[in-house]
Structure 1
């Protein structure tokens, strides 16, 4: 029996099909026009139907964070994958071998000098020779070599191995989420200068693959980047971080919302909803907001317990117990990972499909 929106239990995740499709097409078109490959990160959507659509539109391959994510995406028909995480556990060798055997290309990540030896030993256990991408830290202060000298030493170590081939460089410039939009151009200039300096000191022929939804479109609009691929993830849905914080997508283009119910009005300036940190996660905007009203009313989730969201704002006194709210979350990736399914809506709010989130909880 086909569900109607009113039949859904809450909290539920709603995906606007037309906005999703527009976001997918727009990013692919931008990359095509720029002449570089789109290798989207699936950690945001974790859904085979979306991965399949990204590939249909022209994505060159998929990026994943964990082996379990990559395994879950195989039914999409993907032929090339990049696992952008520090793999070290020797127990992962059989899974890497099996995954590589089902793909045309599997690339792994080398994330530091310290990590290189462990990865070489791990890949050697598979009996395969695999391409690897060397991470460069461009400001997030997470994984990646911190200097040209470190990159050269790491590359020399990789060159001595029969298990791996250095096939390129990547970065995750996630610090752009907290970069003032007015400073974005200058920050991109600095990032590109660093990427090229490190790459050119090792091997100028190797590709550069930055990866962030904040920078992907800006990079596509430039002709001087010298990069070969981008790996954005959150662009498929959008959230408050991409719309109201960094201003890289219009709020009206955000494709995912959380449907929640007002369950109590314990005080005149407060409404409680049935969606808390187990729905929104603990991620918030810089102002401490977990979500805001999708319809534009002055309503914000300003605090969460596990099963409750605290809604405040100038329009809170209009809310009635039992009323349903559509809310745009601060960070979409963690929201999707906490849910079992998404309900895909047509433009008229009828339900097109219910998709199981195949890679939900895939953290191993």
Structure 2
């Protein structure tokens, strides 16, 4: 791939804010993760909650992925409607969701879902493969390790197909020091699998893991399936945590006000970028060292590198103080209407704010991919 600056110089988006995906970087990321899984003899089931985009999921399956993880029943509906035929609902299913999943299964879609209690097992209809969700330490959902064998027996006793185990710990994904905790978790999960196997309950699948832990997940030899998602597009958080995939997801924003020495204002705020996680990283269009900060729902700011400490100490009062200081020089700010390119801090909730991804070729040509699993409320259509 050519340098990012040369690539961005060719791009023109129809309006801003716009999420743009560099196709070459996306394809490189998809190929790298699939190759790593293939080399380890582990299946790849990418997480659909990241991009909520069926076009992306179908492309991943073309390259070898076995299906998609869905965090919600609504995502499962959208992916099934787009032709994805193997779905794992990787979070607890609300009572209203089981009939929806049964309908999908009746249409020929292979549907699996996780459970972590006997009450959930009792609600699950026939035709859906059930995996026992194991709490690996995040304490969001999942059964305690010691309760897993009884839950497996409960699944089998009522005649359901038992698909195996799921174990996911989101708190390890963006932690650069995750190694010891991950090793301890894998040892515990391995012991659980061995105990189940010795009791005649060999799990057909052990699924979990993610982008941050993927190299450790594959090396541990416990998982039969990896649920990584963010590797495809990447964000600032995973970059800080050591993931080495290409920057594929970009946000195009327009400068809408350049009145001050300390900063310029762009048309991308809380409705265009997620605020959970690290700030967006400025890739192009502003002086080196500039920083992004939120200025409200619709707006963000690009902060002068030398103004950061003053703003931190004095807040907005620093803007006029710096403006009146003749020693504080205005940087080479972009003019009104100029494009600025950012890398989102956290990919999943950022994509969820947009209706589409613009897939960009190296010559600047754009193709629109709908974020079609973003929200599904068919009863309101």
- TM-score (norm. length: structure 2): 0.83
- Return the match for 2:244 from 229, 241, 249: 249
Q: Once the 2 structures are TM-superposed, how far is the Cα of residue 259 of structure 1 from its aligned partner? A: 0.4
- Return the match for 1:154 from 151, 156, 162: 151
* Separation in 1, partners of 2:122, 2:130: 13
Query: Match of 2:12?
Result: 6
Distance of aligned partners of 1:135 and 1:304 in 2 relative to their CA distance in 1, 3 Å threshold: farther
Matched, 1:268 2:274: no
- Return the match for 2:270 from 277, 280, 293: 277
Query: Match of 1:86?
Result: 92
Cα-to-partner distance string for 1:137-164 (whole Å, 9 max, x where unaligned): 222221112332x2133223323323x3
Q: Is the 8 A contact 1:65 1:84 kept in 2?
A: yes
* Separation in 2, partners of 1:304, 1:83: 37
Question: 1:203-242 counterparts in 2 under 5 A?
Answer: 203=197, 205-206=202-203, 207-220=205-218, 222=219, 224-242=220-238
Q: Once the 2 structures are TM-superposed, how far is the Cα of residue 39 of structure 1 from its aligned partner? A: 0.6
Matched, 1:312 2:303: yes
Matched, 1:343 2:358: yes
Structure 1 residue matching 2:111: 3-state secondary structure:
strand
Q: Once the 2 structures are TM-superposed, how far is the Cα of residue 64 of structure 1 from its aligned partner? A: 0.7
Q: Is the 8 A contact 1:88 1:122 kept in 2?
A: no
Aligned residues: 339
Q: Is the 8 A contact 1:263 1:273 kept in 2?
A: yes
* Separation in 1, partners of 2:304, 2:375: 33
Q: Once the 2 structures are TM-superposed, how far is the Cα of residue 121 of structure 1 from its aligned partner? A: 3.2
Query: Match of 2:317?
Result: none
Structure 2 residue matching 1:6: 3-state secondary structure:
coil
Distance of aligned partners of 1:363 and 1:173 in 2 relative to their CA distance in 1, 3 Å threshold: farther
Cα-to-partner distance string for 1:97-143 (whole Å, 9 max, x where unaligned): 22112345211111x33xx31x223223xxx2421111112222211
Unpaired stretches in structure 1, ≥5 consecutive residues: none
* Runs of 4+, deviation exceeding 6 Å: none
Q: Is the 8 A contact 2:47 2:69 kept in 1?
A: yes
Question: 1:14-93 counterparts in 2 under 5 A?
Answer: 14-89=20-95, 91-93=96-98
**Aligned residues: CA RMSD:** 2.2
Cα-to-partner distance string for 1:166-187 (whole Å, 9 max, x where unaligned): 22111222112342x2x33323
Q: Is the 8 A contact 1:69 1:363 kept in 2?
A: no
Q: Once the 2 structures are TM-superposed, how far is the Cα of residue 42 of structure 1 from its aligned partner? A: 1.0
Query: Match of 1:144?
Result: 142
Q: Is the 8 A contact 1:27 1:217 kept in 2?
A: no
* Separation in 2, partners of 1:16, 1:129: 40
* Separation in 1, partners of 2:25, 2:332: 29
Cα-to-partner distance string for 1:278-334 (whole Å, 9 max, x where unaligned): 11122132xxx2x01123932222234111112214288322222211100110111
Matched, 1:326 2:328: no
Structure 1 residue matching 2:348: 3-state secondary structure:
helix
Distance of aligned partners of 1:137 and 1:47 in 2 relative to their CA distance in 1, 3 Å threshold: same
Q: Is the 8 A contact 1:343 1:351 kept in 2?
A: no
Unpaired stretches in structure 2, ≥5 consecutive residues: 1-9, 307-329
Query: Match of 1:196?
Result: 190
Query: Match of 1:173?
Result: 169
- TM-score (norm. length: structure 1): 0.86
Q: Is the 8 A contact 2:291 2:304 kept in 1?
A: yes
